[in-house]
Amino acid sequence: MATPAPAGEEDAFSRYRSPLVSRYASPDMAFNFSERKKFGTWRRLWLYLAQAEKSLGLPITDEQIQEMEANLDNIDFKMAAEEEKRLRHDVMAHVHTFAHCCPKAAGIIHLGATSCYVGDNTDLIVLRDGLDLLLPKLARVISRLANFAEKYANLPTLGFTHYQPAQLTTVGKRCTLWIQDLCMDLHNLERARDELRFRGVKGTTGTQASFLQLFEGDHDKVEELDRLVTAMAGFKRAYIVTGQTYSRKVDIEVLSVLASLGASVHKICTDIRLLANLKEIEEPFEKEQIGSSAMAYKRNPMRSERCCSLARHLMTLILDPLQTASVQWFERTLDDSANRRVSLAEAFLTADIILSTLQNISEGLVVYPKVIARRIQQELPFMSTENIIMAIVKAGGNRQVTRFLKEEVYPVLTPYQSKMGVKMELTL
Protein backbone atom coordinates (compact mmCIF):
# COMPACT_ATOMS: atom_id res chain seq x y z
CA MET A 1 0.00 0.00 0.00
CA ALA A 2 1.35 3.43 -0.98
CA THR A 3 2.13 5.83 1.84
CA PRO A 4 1.96 9.63 1.77
CA ALA A 5 5.17 11.64 1.59
CA PRO A 6 6.63 12.81 4.92
CA ALA A 7 5.47 16.22 6.13
CA GLY A 8 7.32 18.98 4.36
CA GLU A 9 8.32 16.74 1.43
CA GLU A 10 5.09 16.84 -0.57
CA ASP A 11 5.46 17.34 -4.29
CA ALA A 12 3.03 17.62 -7.19
CA PHE A 13 2.59 13.83 -7.18
CA SER A 14 1.54 13.71 -3.53
CA ARG A 15 -1.69 15.61 -4.11
CA TYR A 16 -4.68 15.00 -6.30
CA ARG A 17 -4.36 16.78 -9.63
CA SER A 18 -7.25 17.10 -12.02
CA PRO A 19 -6.47 15.00 -15.10
CA LEU A 20 -8.25 17.63 -17.16
CA VAL A 21 -5.15 19.79 -16.67
CA SER A 22 -2.38 17.34 -15.77
CA ARG A 23 -3.07 14.98 -18.70
CA TYR A 24 -5.15 16.52 -21.41
CA ALA A 25 -5.96 20.23 -21.66
CA SER A 26 -4.05 22.63 -23.90
CA PRO A 27 -1.69 25.11 -22.20
CA ASP A 28 -3.79 28.02 -23.48
CA MET A 29 -7.04 26.78 -21.96
CA ALA A 30 -5.33 25.72 -18.73
CA PHE A 31 -3.90 29.24 -18.42
CA ASN A 32 -7.28 30.80 -19.15
CA PHE A 33 -8.62 29.29 -15.92
CA SER A 34 -5.43 29.74 -13.91
CA GLU A 35 -5.05 31.84 -10.79
CA ARG A 36 -2.48 34.01 -12.55
CA LYS A 37 -4.97 34.87 -15.28
CA LYS A 38 -7.75 35.42 -12.73
CA PHE A 39 -5.93 37.67 -10.32
CA GLY A 40 -4.02 39.45 -13.08
CA THR A 41 -7.40 40.29 -14.59
CA TRP A 42 -8.64 41.57 -11.22
CA ARG A 43 -5.75 44.02 -11.16
CA ARG A 44 -6.43 45.16 -14.70
CA LEU A 45 -10.06 45.75 -13.80
CA TRP A 46 -8.99 47.87 -10.83
CA LEU A 47 -6.73 49.81 -13.18
CA TYR A 48 -9.55 50.34 -15.71
CA LEU A 49 -11.82 51.56 -12.93
CA ALA A 50 -9.21 54.01 -11.60
CA GLN A 51 -8.42 55.32 -15.10
CA ALA A 52 -12.10 55.85 -15.87
CA GLU A 53 -12.78 57.49 -12.51
CA LYS A 54 -9.81 59.82 -13.03
CA SER A 55 -10.99 60.78 -16.51
CA LEU A 56 -14.39 61.71 -15.05
CA GLY A 57 -12.93 64.00 -12.41
CA LEU A 58 -12.17 61.99 -9.30
CA PRO A 59 -8.94 63.04 -7.51
CA ILE A 60 -6.69 60.25 -8.79
CA THR A 61 -3.15 61.10 -9.86
CA ASP A 62 -1.04 59.97 -12.79
CA GLU A 63 1.49 58.65 -10.29
CA GLN A 64 -1.09 56.36 -8.73
CA ILE A 65 -2.15 55.06 -12.15
CA GLN A 66 1.47 54.45 -13.15
CA GLU A 67 2.15 52.57 -9.92
CA MET A 68 -0.79 50.27 -10.60
CA GLU A 69 0.30 49.72 -14.21
CA ALA A 70 3.81 48.76 -13.07
CA ASN A 71 2.51 46.05 -10.72
CA LEU A 72 -0.23 44.33 -12.71
CA ASP A 73 1.61 41.01 -12.81
CA ASN A 74 3.67 41.46 -9.64
CA ILE A 75 1.43 39.17 -7.60
CA ASP A 76 2.62 37.81 -4.25
CA PHE A 77 0.48 34.67 -4.15
CA LYS A 78 1.83 33.63 -0.76
CA MET A 79 0.85 36.95 0.79
CA ALA A 80 -2.56 36.79 -0.83
CA ALA A 81 -3.17 33.30 0.59
CA GLU A 82 -2.15 34.46 4.07
CA GLU A 83 -4.42 37.50 3.81
CA GLU A 84 -7.36 35.37 2.68
CA LYS A 85 -6.81 32.96 5.57
CA ARG A 86 -6.89 35.92 7.94
CA LEU A 87 -9.76 37.88 6.35
CA ARG A 88 -11.83 34.99 4.94
CA HIS A 89 -12.44 37.17 1.88
CA ASP A 90 -10.61 36.53 -1.37
CA VAL A 91 -11.22 39.92 -2.98
CA MET A 92 -10.12 41.96 0.01
CA ALA A 93 -7.08 39.70 0.39
CA HIS A 94 -6.02 40.70 -3.11
CA VAL A 95 -6.90 44.35 -2.56
CA HIS A 96 -4.45 44.33 0.37
CA THR A 97 -1.82 42.40 -1.63
CA PHE A 98 -2.06 44.85 -4.55
CA ALA A 99 -1.97 47.80 -2.18
CA HIS A 100 1.18 46.41 -0.55
CA CYS A 101 3.12 46.83 -3.80
CA CYS A 102 1.23 50.02 -4.73
CA PRO A 103 1.33 52.07 -1.52
CA LYS A 104 0.63 55.38 -3.27
CA ALA A 105 -2.43 53.92 -5.01
CA ALA A 106 -3.68 51.97 -1.98
CA GLY A 107 -6.53 54.37 -1.28
CA ILE A 108 -8.03 54.23 -4.78
CA ILE A 109 -7.83 50.49 -5.49
CA HIS A 110 -11.38 49.08 -5.70
CA LEU A 111 -12.81 52.59 -5.16
CA GLY A 112 -16.62 52.39 -5.05
CA ALA A 113 -16.66 48.78 -6.24
CA THR A 114 -18.12 45.57 -4.87
CA SER A 115 -16.45 42.16 -4.98
CA CYS A 116 -18.49 41.18 -8.02
CA TYR A 117 -16.96 44.04 -9.96
CA VAL A 118 -13.77 42.01 -10.22
CA GLY A 119 -15.28 38.54 -9.69
CA ASP A 120 -18.11 38.55 -12.21
CA ASN A 121 -16.41 40.73 -14.79
CA THR A 122 -13.37 38.47 -14.71
CA ASP A 123 -15.61 35.44 -15.19
CA LEU A 124 -17.15 37.06 -18.26
CA ILE A 125 -13.70 37.85 -19.66
CA VAL A 126 -12.61 34.25 -19.06
CA LEU A 127 -15.78 32.88 -20.70
CA ARG A 128 -15.22 35.16 -23.70
CA ASP A 129 -11.57 34.17 -24.02
CA GLY A 130 -12.47 30.51 -23.59
CA LEU A 131 -14.96 30.71 -26.46
CA ASP A 132 -12.30 32.45 -28.55
CA LEU A 133 -10.01 29.46 -27.95
CA LEU A 134 -12.67 26.87 -28.78
CA LEU A 135 -14.02 28.43 -31.98
CA PRO A 136 -10.93 27.95 -34.20
CA LYS A 137 -10.44 24.45 -32.79
CA LEU A 138 -13.96 23.49 -33.78
CA ALA A 139 -13.46 25.10 -37.20
CA ARG A 140 -10.32 23.02 -37.74
CA VAL A 141 -12.17 19.81 -36.90
CA ILE A 142 -14.88 20.72 -39.41
CA SER A 143 -12.24 21.52 -42.03
CA ARG A 144 -10.43 18.20 -41.56
CA LEU A 145 -13.66 16.23 -41.74
CA ALA A 146 -14.68 18.21 -44.84
CA ASN A 147 -11.46 17.09 -46.53
CA PHE A 148 -12.25 13.52 -45.54
CA ALA A 149 -15.83 13.77 -46.84
CA GLU A 150 -14.68 15.19 -50.14
CA LYS A 151 -12.04 12.48 -50.57
CA TYR A 152 -14.50 9.66 -49.97
CA ALA A 153 -17.61 11.27 -51.43
CA ASN A 154 -18.16 8.49 -53.98
CA LEU A 155 -16.90 5.46 -52.03
CA PRO A 156 -20.04 3.33 -51.46
CA THR A 157 -20.52 1.79 -48.03
CA LEU A 158 -23.29 -0.07 -46.31
CA GLY A 159 -25.68 2.19 -44.47
CA PHE A 160 -27.20 1.18 -41.16
CA THR A 161 -30.52 1.96 -39.54
CA HIS A 162 -31.15 0.43 -36.09
CA TYR A 163 -27.56 -0.82 -36.60
CA GLN A 164 -28.99 -3.25 -39.15
CA PRO A 165 -27.89 -3.27 -42.82
CA ALA A 166 -29.93 -0.81 -44.86
CA GLN A 167 -29.38 0.80 -48.27
CA LEU A 168 -26.03 2.01 -49.43
CA THR A 169 -24.57 5.43 -48.72
CA THR A 170 -21.01 6.67 -49.20
CA VAL A 171 -18.22 7.12 -46.68
CA GLY A 172 -18.12 10.83 -47.50
CA LYS A 173 -21.89 11.29 -47.24
CA ARG A 174 -21.93 9.66 -43.80
CA CYS A 175 -19.20 12.08 -42.72
CA THR A 176 -21.36 15.06 -43.75
CA LEU A 177 -23.85 14.02 -41.05
CA TRP A 178 -21.08 14.55 -38.49
CA ILE A 179 -20.06 17.83 -40.09
CA GLN A 180 -23.61 19.15 -40.13
CA ASP A 181 -23.92 18.69 -36.35
CA LEU A 182 -20.57 20.40 -35.78
CA CYS A 183 -21.58 23.32 -38.01
CA MET A 184 -24.63 23.80 -35.79
CA ASP A 185 -22.31 23.79 -32.79
CA LEU A 186 -20.04 26.36 -34.45
CA HIS A 187 -23.03 28.63 -35.06
CA ASN A 188 -24.17 28.23 -31.46
CA LEU A 189 -20.70 28.95 -30.08
CA GLU A 190 -20.45 32.08 -32.24
CA ARG A 191 -23.88 33.20 -31.06
CA ALA A 192 -22.97 32.65 -27.41
CA ARG A 193 -19.73 34.58 -27.95
CA ASP A 194 -21.44 37.47 -29.73
CA GLU A 195 -24.25 37.76 -27.16
CA LEU A 196 -21.94 37.75 -24.15
CA ARG A 197 -21.93 41.10 -22.37
CA PHE A 198 -19.95 42.72 -19.57
CA ARG A 199 -21.37 43.13 -16.05
CA GLY A 200 -19.75 46.52 -15.85
CA VAL A 201 -19.84 48.97 -12.95
CA LYS A 202 -23.08 48.29 -11.08
CA GLY A 203 -22.43 48.45 -7.33
CA THR A 204 -23.56 46.14 -4.56
CA THR A 205 -27.15 45.46 -5.68
CA GLY A 206 -27.01 46.66 -9.25
CA THR A 207 -28.23 50.22 -8.54
CA GLN A 208 -24.79 51.90 -8.87
CA ALA A 209 -25.52 53.67 -5.55
CA SER A 210 -21.89 53.74 -4.39
CA PHE A 211 -20.77 55.32 -7.64
CA LEU A 212 -23.60 57.85 -7.56
CA GLN A 213 -22.31 58.86 -4.14
CA LEU A 214 -18.75 59.18 -5.48
CA PHE A 215 -19.95 61.40 -8.32
CA GLU A 216 -22.35 63.37 -6.14
CA GLY A 217 -25.50 62.11 -7.82
CA ASP A 218 -24.33 62.70 -11.41
CA HIS A 219 -26.10 59.90 -13.30
CA ASP A 220 -24.49 60.81 -16.60
CA LYS A 221 -21.01 60.39 -15.18
CA VAL A 222 -21.90 57.03 -13.62
CA GLU A 223 -23.29 55.77 -16.91
CA GLU A 224 -20.19 57.03 -18.72
CA LEU A 225 -18.02 55.26 -16.14
CA ASP A 226 -19.86 52.03 -16.98
CA ARG A 227 -19.32 52.58 -20.72
CA LEU A 228 -15.65 53.43 -20.33
CA VAL A 229 -14.78 50.39 -18.23
CA THR A 230 -16.80 48.11 -20.51
CA ALA A 231 -14.84 49.33 -23.54
CA MET A 232 -11.50 49.02 -21.73
CA ALA A 233 -12.29 45.38 -21.00
CA GLY A 234 -12.90 44.74 -24.68
CA PHE A 235 -16.69 44.42 -24.63
CA LYS A 236 -19.12 46.28 -26.88
CA ARG A 237 -22.03 46.11 -24.45
CA ALA A 238 -22.77 45.68 -20.76
CA TYR A 239 -25.93 44.30 -19.19
CA ILE A 240 -28.24 47.22 -18.46
CA VAL A 241 -29.62 45.63 -15.31
CA THR A 242 -27.97 43.24 -12.85
CA GLY A 243 -28.33 42.28 -9.24
CA GLN A 244 -25.08 42.02 -7.38
CA THR A 245 -24.06 39.51 -10.06
CA TYR A 246 -24.84 39.15 -13.71
CA SER A 247 -27.76 36.77 -14.25
CA ARG A 248 -26.68 33.16 -13.79
CA LYS A 249 -28.83 32.40 -16.83
CA VAL A 250 -25.78 33.52 -18.81
CA ASP A 251 -23.85 30.52 -17.49
CA ILE A 252 -26.71 28.28 -18.59
CA GLU A 253 -26.56 29.71 -22.10
CA VAL A 254 -22.80 29.14 -22.40
CA LEU A 255 -22.66 25.68 -20.86
CA SER A 256 -25.69 24.46 -22.82
CA VAL A 257 -23.79 25.19 -26.03
CA LEU A 258 -20.79 23.26 -24.73
CA ALA A 259 -23.00 20.36 -23.61
CA SER A 260 -24.55 20.24 -27.08
CA LEU A 261 -21.05 20.11 -28.56
CA GLY A 262 -20.34 17.19 -26.23
CA ALA A 263 -23.36 15.34 -27.63
CA SER A 264 -22.10 15.86 -31.20
CA VAL A 265 -18.62 14.63 -30.42
CA HIS A 266 -19.97 11.61 -28.55
CA LYS A 267 -22.11 10.60 -31.53
CA ILE A 268 -19.23 11.02 -34.01
CA CYS A 269 -16.78 9.04 -31.92
CA THR A 270 -19.33 6.31 -31.22
CA ASP A 271 -19.76 5.89 -34.98
CA ILE A 272 -15.99 5.68 -35.40
CA ARG A 273 -15.77 3.06 -32.64
CA LEU A 274 -18.45 0.96 -34.32
CA LEU A 275 -16.75 1.27 -37.70
CA ALA A 276 -13.44 0.28 -36.09
CA ASN A 277 -15.10 -2.89 -34.83
CA LEU A 278 -16.20 -3.60 -38.41
CA LYS A 279 -12.60 -2.94 -39.57
CA GLU A 280 -13.90 -0.39 -42.12
CA ILE A 281 -12.41 2.78 -40.60
CA GLU A 282 -9.81 3.27 -37.90
CA GLU A 283 -8.54 6.23 -35.94
CA PRO A 284 -4.77 6.91 -36.07
CA PHE A 285 -2.62 4.20 -34.51
CA GLU A 286 0.96 5.14 -33.83
CA LYS A 287 3.97 2.96 -34.60
CA GLU A 288 4.81 2.09 -31.00
CA GLN A 289 1.28 2.35 -29.62
CA ILE A 290 0.12 -0.62 -27.54
CA GLY A 291 -3.51 -1.57 -28.00
CA SER A 292 -3.76 -3.84 -24.97
CA SER A 293 -1.37 -4.91 -22.22
CA ALA A 294 -2.64 -8.49 -22.51
CA MET A 295 -3.55 -8.68 -26.23
CA ALA A 296 -0.89 -6.88 -28.24
CA TYR A 297 -2.67 -7.48 -31.55
CA LYS A 298 -5.62 -5.27 -30.60
CA ARG A 299 -6.09 -1.82 -32.13
CA ASN A 300 -8.39 -0.23 -29.60
CA PRO A 301 -9.96 3.11 -30.63
CA MET A 302 -8.71 4.76 -27.43
CA ARG A 303 -8.89 8.34 -28.73
CA SER A 304 -12.55 7.97 -29.66
CA GLU A 305 -13.21 6.25 -26.36
CA ARG A 306 -11.56 9.16 -24.53
CA CYS A 307 -13.78 11.61 -26.40
CA CYS A 308 -16.90 9.66 -25.48
CA SER A 309 -15.83 9.41 -21.86
CA LEU A 310 -15.13 13.13 -21.50
CA ALA A 311 -18.13 14.15 -23.60
CA ARG A 312 -20.39 12.40 -21.10
CA HIS A 313 -18.84 14.49 -18.33
CA LEU A 314 -19.30 17.66 -20.38
CA MET A 315 -22.96 16.93 -21.01
CA THR A 316 -23.68 16.46 -17.30
CA LEU A 317 -22.12 19.81 -16.33
CA ILE A 318 -25.13 21.75 -17.67
CA LEU A 319 -27.01 20.63 -14.54
CA ASP A 320 -24.81 22.83 -12.34
CA PRO A 321 -25.73 26.23 -13.81
CA LEU A 322 -29.35 25.17 -14.17
CA GLN A 323 -29.59 24.48 -10.47
CA THR A 324 -27.46 27.47 -9.51
CA ALA A 325 -29.63 29.93 -11.45
CA SER A 326 -32.80 28.45 -10.01
CA VAL A 327 -31.79 28.97 -6.37
CA GLN A 328 -30.35 32.47 -6.51
CA TRP A 329 -32.31 34.58 -3.99
CA PHE A 330 -33.24 38.14 -4.94
CA GLU A 331 -30.11 40.13 -5.86
CA ARG A 332 -27.65 37.32 -5.06
CA THR A 333 -26.66 34.47 -2.74
CA LEU A 334 -23.14 33.11 -2.33
CA ASP A 335 -24.04 29.46 -2.83
CA ASP A 336 -23.22 29.94 -6.51
CA SER A 337 -19.53 30.65 -5.97
CA ALA A 338 -17.89 27.33 -5.11
CA ASN A 339 -20.02 25.48 -7.69
CA ARG A 340 -19.09 27.89 -10.47
CA ARG A 341 -15.37 27.63 -9.68
CA VAL A 342 -15.64 23.97 -10.65
CA SER A 343 -18.34 23.74 -13.31
CA LEU A 344 -17.32 26.64 -15.57
CA ALA A 345 -13.66 25.67 -15.68
CA GLU A 346 -14.34 21.97 -16.16
CA ALA A 347 -16.79 22.60 -19.00
CA PHE A 348 -14.29 24.63 -21.00
CA LEU A 349 -11.33 22.39 -20.21
CA THR A 350 -13.33 19.31 -21.25
CA ALA A 351 -14.57 20.93 -24.46
CA ASP A 352 -11.00 21.94 -25.27
CA ILE A 353 -9.76 18.38 -24.77
CA ILE A 354 -12.39 16.64 -26.87
CA LEU A 355 -11.89 19.09 -29.75
CA SER A 356 -8.12 18.63 -29.69
CA THR A 357 -8.55 14.87 -29.62
CA LEU A 358 -11.18 14.85 -32.36
CA GLN A 359 -8.93 16.99 -34.56
CA ASN A 360 -6.14 14.47 -34.07
CA ILE A 361 -8.52 11.67 -35.01
CA SER A 362 -9.88 13.47 -38.07
CA GLU A 363 -6.37 14.21 -39.35
CA GLY A 364 -5.47 10.51 -39.39
CA LEU A 365 -8.60 8.49 -40.16
CA VAL A 366 -7.77 5.32 -42.10
CA VAL A 367 -10.29 3.80 -44.51
CA TYR A 368 -10.21 0.17 -45.69
CA PRO A 369 -12.07 0.08 -49.05
CA LYS A 370 -11.62 -3.67 -49.56
CA VAL A 371 -13.25 -4.49 -46.23
CA ILE A 372 -16.08 -2.09 -47.07
CA ALA A 373 -16.54 -3.65 -50.51
CA ARG A 374 -16.60 -7.16 -49.05
CA ARG A 375 -19.37 -6.20 -46.61
CA ILE A 376 -21.36 -4.63 -49.45
CA GLN A 377 -21.07 -7.82 -51.50
CA GLN A 378 -22.39 -9.81 -48.56
CA GLU A 379 -25.53 -7.69 -48.47
CA LEU A 380 -26.13 -6.88 -52.15
CA PRO A 381 -27.92 -10.17 -52.92
CA PHE A 382 -30.65 -8.95 -50.59
CA MET A 383 -31.07 -5.78 -52.66
CA SER A 384 -32.49 -5.57 -56.17
CA THR A 385 -30.70 -4.14 -59.25
CA GLU A 386 -27.26 -4.09 -57.62
CA ASN A 387 -25.44 -2.35 -60.46
CA ILE A 388 -28.03 0.44 -60.68
CA ILE A 389 -27.89 0.96 -56.92
CA MET A 390 -24.10 1.19 -56.93
CA ALA A 391 -24.10 3.76 -59.74
CA ILE A 392 -26.84 5.87 -58.17
CA VAL A 393 -25.17 5.87 -54.76
CA LYS A 394 -21.82 6.98 -56.19
CA ALA A 395 -23.42 9.81 -58.15
CA GLY A 396 -25.84 10.87 -55.41
CA GLY A 397 -23.31 10.74 -52.62
CA ASN A 398 -20.79 12.78 -54.55
CA ARG A 399 -23.40 15.38 -55.58
CA GLN A 400 -24.75 15.83 -52.04
CA VAL A 401 -21.31 16.04 -50.48
CA THR A 402 -20.10 18.60 -53.01
CA ARG A 403 -23.17 20.80 -52.63
CA PHE A 404 -23.18 20.58 -48.82
CA LEU A 405 -19.51 21.48 -48.48
CA LYS A 406 -19.82 24.35 -50.96
CA GLU A 407 -23.00 25.90 -49.57
CA GLU A 408 -22.92 25.17 -45.85
CA VAL A 409 -19.41 24.30 -44.71
CA TYR A 410 -16.73 26.26 -46.53
CA PRO A 411 -18.49 29.64 -46.01
CA VAL A 412 -18.61 29.24 -42.21
CA LEU A 413 -14.90 28.35 -42.13
CA THR A 414 -13.82 31.55 -43.90
CA PRO A 415 -13.28 33.63 -40.70
CA TYR A 416 -10.92 30.96 -39.36
CA GLN A 417 -8.66 30.47 -42.39
CA SER A 418 -5.64 32.03 -40.70
CA LYS A 419 -5.80 29.40 -37.94
CA MET A 420 -6.32 26.31 -40.09
CA GLY A 421 -2.66 25.32 -40.32
CA VAL A 422 -2.33 24.02 -36.75
CA LYS A 423 -1.80 20.25 -36.68
CA MET A 424 -2.81 18.44 -33.52
CA GLU A 425 -0.35 16.08 -31.85
CA LEU A 426 -1.43 14.43 -28.60
CA THR A 427 1.02 14.01 -25.76
CA LEU A 428 -1.11 11.32 -24.07
Q: Which residues are catalytic?
A: 162, 292
For residue 359, give Cα distances in angstroms to 32, 91, 420, 424: 21, 39, 11, 6
**How many Cα atoms occupy the beta-carbon half-sphere of 328 within 13 Å?**
21
Cα separation, 84 vs 73, whole angstroms: 19
Sequential DSSP letters for 304-347: HHHHHHHHHHHHHTTHHHHHHHHT--TT--GGGHHHHHHHHHHH
**How many Cα atoms occupy the beta-carbon half-sphere of 420 within 13 Å?**
15
Do residues 131 and 257 touch, judged by C-beta distance below 8 A?
Answer: no
Do residues 56 and 225 touch, judged by C-beta distance below 8 A?
Answer: yes
* CB-based contacts of 132, cutoff 8 Å, min separation 6: 193
Using DSSP's 3-state secondary structure scheme, residue 421 falls into: coil
Four-CA torsion 87, 89, 90, 92, nearest 10 degrees: -70
Beta bridge partners of 238: 198
Neighbouring C-beta atoms of residue 421, cutoff 10 Å: 7
* CB-based contacts of 331, cutoff 8 Å, min separation 6: 205, 206, 243, 244
Do residues 285 and 301 touch, judged by C-beta distance below 8 A?
Answer: no
